[in-house]
């Protein structure tokens, strides 16, 4: 009896152990099932999503030519483990045909490593579209086979054509540089983008840069291609805004050609020119003979990176005399007919001897401008106290930027009120020494004489355009400033016309057009001393009978041999005016009332 009881208890123990084992196995089974249910399955997704990178906006000329554009770049990537060894030659031959890459180069890249290999970077969109078609054909021909990963997964990859970045392209090369400027590359994740560094590329970088990438979501087929259904979702990429300049391409091309020719002829370091619409302030040309290729800047290009008309500040010489005379007229300190003693070409103020190139015993205020008399303007300037002189030049804009959207402007400097109360400073400043300005500032000041005393605000940007919506955005117009009374402006205007008719600007006379202007030839100072090098300028205006009205300026920097403005800047301005007539910007009149002859 006792033995049977022991046996029964042993059987119960075995049954308990068995039930425990079954329970543990059941728990393990439940846990495994839960894990499999909750963990992500490695099965192909029924849907595909894709990101379309937004691009930087374009820069265009006023007449619609693309001066700077963005081109997407792609890379071709393939996994060597997925290429069927029997069809490797077929793959290489077809990829070579579609991409233009030599077969030997493709074999070399495929043999470098086992796994994912980039066959080509920097593929342009056209070639990328061909290669995408090739990728589909290669799948159809079963060139790609699956391989088993370490974890036991079956992996099949084909030829992938992936957006890798963007390139900034300048279709017209050196045209309109350095105003356009140039970009630098930066990495946005694994995507290469461009950021403006100089010129309008920098000035309007926030407007030009890509705004928002596009995204698409759609069902896919077995080959991973999207199917358009009701479930598809697509959001368009928002590119940067396109920027339109006020400068017509064809006019700019011809101005640059003239400057290049004159630079070579005069053996000048640089020739610069500005043309403005006298009424609106729109810049029609901002040109220099020093230009560079934005995509390939060399060390020798460093000097050319500056915008000559904005960033080169210099003593402007006699082109300042009309501004000084205007302040005298405005303050009723002289009249055009007043006669001034001119001391036969030599006049001493303190230790300074002022000399006229063409000596006169007596000269009228008007002829001081026409004949460019240093002595005459120096004597009249003594009537201006330092406050009125400096404040007057400030009102002409000589201590501030010239206008809207003009990048990297170097505004120059004026003597202090205390200095301008000195007779010598007052005299030399009156004819453009002892102060600095850039060419655009002087041209802007001259619009006052051709615009009834109102000074315009130059701008190089016409509008910004959102290509996705068609919206056009214009810069806020800056109200024109009243600098002179219409009477004073008209008196200076008359003097400048006579300067062209019979004074230092006769070389620019063009029958059928009304032209006024002033020459200026100024010594260049180096380390505090004036050397035998010069900057020669001619600044003025030209009007025709049809109402076209332009203010312009030309500067020859360090011309060799001939250096007087009448031989350099005037000759260049004449070529530009003749070209504008040929191009239809100016129309000659048969009526001599609008002619300089």
Distance (Å) of CA 286 to CA 17, 253, 254, 262, 477: 97, 11, 12, 16, 20
pLDDT of residue 139: 87
Q: H/E/C letters for each residue in 441-497?
A: HHHHHHCCCCCCCEECCCECEEEEECCCCCCEECCCCCCCEECCCHHHHHHHHHHHH
Which residues on adjacent β-strands are paired with residue 229?
Answer: none
Mean pLDDT of 488-505: 96
pLDDT of residue 458: 94
Bigger pLDDT: 571 vs 236: 571
Is 258 in the same domain as 396?
yes
Burial 545-561 (b: 16+ CB within 10 A, else e): beebbbbbbbbbbbbee
Q: What angle do CA 261, 307, 457 make, to 5 degrees?
A: 110
Bigger pLDDT: 131 vs 596: 131
pLDDT of residue 1: 52
pLDDT of residue 520: 94
Which tens digit of pLDDT belongs to each residue from 315-343? 999 999 999 999 999 999 999 999 999 99
pLDDT of residue 12: 65
Helices (H), 371-438: 374-381, 386-395, 417-420, 423-430
pLDDT of residue 33: 66
Is 138 in the same domain as 255?
no
Which tens digit of pLDDT belongs to each residue from 439-485? 999 999 999 999 999 999 999 999 999 998 999 999 877 889 999 99
- What is the rounded distance in angstroms from the CA atom of residue 449 to the CA atom of residue 321? 13
Q: Mind giving me the DSSP string for 295-333?
A: TS--GGGGGGGS-HHHH--B--GGGGHHHHHHHHHHTTS
| 202 occurs within a structural domain | yes
Which residues on adjacent β-strands are paired with residue 515?
Answer: 542
Q: How confident is the model at residue 41 (pLDDT cuts 50, 70, 90)?
A: very low
| 298 occurs within a structural domain | no
Is 526 in the same domain as 467?
yes
Check whether 21 has a pLDDT greater than 90: no
Distance (Å) of CA 454 to CA 74, 195, 281, 348, 392: 53, 38, 11, 36, 14
Is 176 in the same domain as 284?
no
| 111 occurs within a structural domain | yes
| 27 occurs within a structural domain | no
pLDDT of residue 303: 85
Is 114 in the same domain as 177?
yes
| 4 occurs within a structural domain | no
Most trustworthy range by pLDDT among 257-261, 409-413, 504-508: 257-261
Is 435 in the same domain as 531?
yes
pLDDT of residue 231: 61
Is 433 in the same domain as 574?
yes
Is 192 in the same domain as 311?
no
Is 138 in the same domain as 278?
no
- Residues spanned by the domain of 159: 47-209+239-245
Mean pLDDT of 75-92: 90
* CATH number of 577's domain: 3.40.710.10
Q: H/E/C letters for each residue in 151-182?
A: CCCEECCCCEEEEEEEEEECCCCCCCCCCCCC
Distance (Å) of CA 127 to CA 29, 72, 105: 54, 11, 17
Quote the percentage of the chain above a pLDDT of 70.
Answer: 89
DSSP 3-state of 32: helix
Which tens digit of pLDDT belongs to each residue from 366-400? 999 999 999 999 999 999 999 999 999 999 999 88
Which tens digit of pLDDT belongs to each residue from 138-171? 988 899 988 888 777 888 888 988 888 899 999 9
- What is the rounded distance in angstroms from the CA atom of residue 31 to the CA atom of residue 39? 12
* CATH number of 67's domain: 3.90.1310.10
Mean pLDDT of 192-214: 92
pLDDT of residue 24: 77
Check whether 8 has a pLDDT greater than 90: no
Is 195 in the same domain as 265?
no
pLDDT of residue 2: 55
- What is the rounded distance in angstroms from the CA atom of residue 199 to the CA atom of residue 21? 80
Is 183 in the same domain as 110?
yes
CB 101 within 8 A of CB 131: no
Is 541 in the same domain as 445?
yes
pLDDT of residue 7: 57
> What is the number of domains present in the chain?
2
Check whether 596 has a pLDDT greater than 60: no
| 33 occurs within a structural domain | no
Mean pLDDT for the chain? 88
Check whether 427 has a pLDDT greater than 90: yes
Which residues on adjacent β-strands are paired with residue 275?
Answer: 285, 552
Which tens digit of pLDDT belongs to each residue from 515-551? 999 999 998 988 778 888 999 999 999 999 999 999 9
| 23 occurs within a structural domain | no
Q: How confident is the model at residue 35 (pLDDT cuts 50, 70, 90)?
A: low
pLDDT of residue 5: 60
pLDDT of residue 549: 97
| 590 occurs within a structural domain | yes
Check whether 44 has a pLDDT greater than 80: no
- What is the rounded distance in angstroms from the CA atom of residue 566 to the CA atom of residue 266? 13
Q: How confident is the model at residue 63 (pLDDT cuts 50, 70, 90)?
A: very high
Distance (Å) of CA 45 to CA 35, 66, 223: 20, 42, 12
pLDDT of residue 40: 47
CA neighbor of 128 nearest in space, from 87, 106, 159, 167: 159
Check whether 53 has a pLDDT greater than 70: yes
Q: How confident is the model at residue 43 (pLDDT cuts 50, 70, 90)?
A: very low
């Amino acid at each position: 009896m006792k033995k049977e009881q022991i046996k029964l208890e042993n059987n119960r123990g075995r049954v308990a152990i068995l039930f425990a084992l079954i329970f543990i196995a059941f728990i393990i089974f439940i846990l495994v099932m839960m894990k499999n249910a909750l963990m992500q399955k490695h099965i192909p997704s029924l849907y595909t999503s894709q990101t379309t990178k937004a691009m930087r906006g374009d820069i265009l000329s006023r007449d619609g030519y693309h001066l700077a554009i963005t081109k997407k770049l792609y890379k071709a990537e393939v996994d060597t483990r997925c290429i069927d060894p029997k069809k490797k030659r077929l793959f290489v031959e077809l990829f070579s045909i579609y991409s233009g890459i030599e077969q030997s180069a493709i074999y070399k890249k495929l043999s470098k490593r086992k796994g994912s290999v980039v066959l080509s970077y920097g593929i342009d969109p056209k070639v990328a579209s061909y290669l995408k078609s090739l990728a589909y054909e290669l799948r159809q021909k079963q060139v790609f086979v699956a391989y088993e990963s370490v974890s036991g997964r079956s992996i099949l990859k084909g030829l992938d054509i992936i957006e890798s970045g963007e390139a900034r392209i300048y279709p017209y090369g050196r045209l309109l540089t350095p105003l356009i400027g140039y970009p630098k590359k930066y990495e946005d994740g694994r995507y290469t983008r461009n950021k403006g560094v100089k010129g309008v590329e920098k000035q309007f970088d926030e407007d030009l840069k890509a705004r928002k990438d596009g995204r698409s979501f759609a069902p896919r087929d077995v080959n991973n291609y999207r199917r358009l259904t009701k479930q598809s979702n697509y959001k368009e990429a928002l590119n940067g805004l396109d920027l339109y300049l006020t400068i017509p391409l064809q006019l700019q091309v011809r101005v640059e050609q003239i400057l290049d020719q004159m630079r070579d002829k005069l053996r000048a370091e640089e020739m610069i020119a500005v043309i403005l619409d006298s009424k609106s302030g729109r810049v029609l040309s901002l040109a220099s003979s020093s230009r560079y290729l934005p995509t390939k800047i060399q060390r020798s290009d460093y000097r050319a990176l500056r915008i000559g008309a904005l960033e080169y500040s210099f003593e402007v010489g006699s082109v300042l005399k009309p501004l000084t005379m205007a302040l005298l007229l405005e303050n009723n300190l002289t009249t055009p007919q007043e006669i001034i003693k001119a001391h036969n070409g030599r006049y001493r103020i303190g230790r300074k001897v002022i000399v006229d190139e063409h000596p006169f015993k007596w000269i009228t205020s008007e002829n001081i401008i026409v004949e460019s008399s240093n002595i005459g303007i120096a004597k009249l300037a003594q009537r201006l106290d330092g406050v009125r002189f400096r404040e007057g030049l400030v009102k002409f804009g000589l201590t501030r930027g010239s206008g809207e959207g003009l990048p990297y402007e170097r505004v120059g400097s004026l003597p202090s009120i205390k200095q301008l109360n000195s007779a010598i400073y007052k005299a030399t400043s009156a004819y453009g020494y002892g102060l600095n300005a850039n060419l655009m500032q002087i041209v802007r000041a001259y619009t006052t004489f051709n615009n009834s005393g109102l000074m315009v605000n130059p701008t190089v940007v016409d509008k910004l355009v959102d290509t996705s919506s068609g919206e056009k955005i214009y810069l806020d117009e800056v109200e024109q400033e009243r600098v002179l009374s219409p009477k004073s402006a008209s008196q200076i205007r008359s003097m400048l016309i006579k300067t062209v008719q019979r004074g230092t600007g006769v070389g620019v006379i063009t029958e059928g057009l009304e032209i006024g202007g002033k020459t200026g030839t100024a010594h260049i100072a180096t380390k505090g001393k004036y050397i035998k090098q010069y900057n020669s300028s001619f600044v003025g205006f030209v009007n025709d009978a049809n109402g076209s009205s332009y203010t312009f300026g030309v500067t020859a920097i360090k011309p060799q041999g001939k250096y007087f403005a009448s031989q350099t800047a005037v000759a260049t301005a004449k070529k530009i005016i003749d070209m504008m007539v040929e191009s239809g910007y100016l129309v000659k009149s048969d009526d001599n009332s609008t002619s300089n002859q």
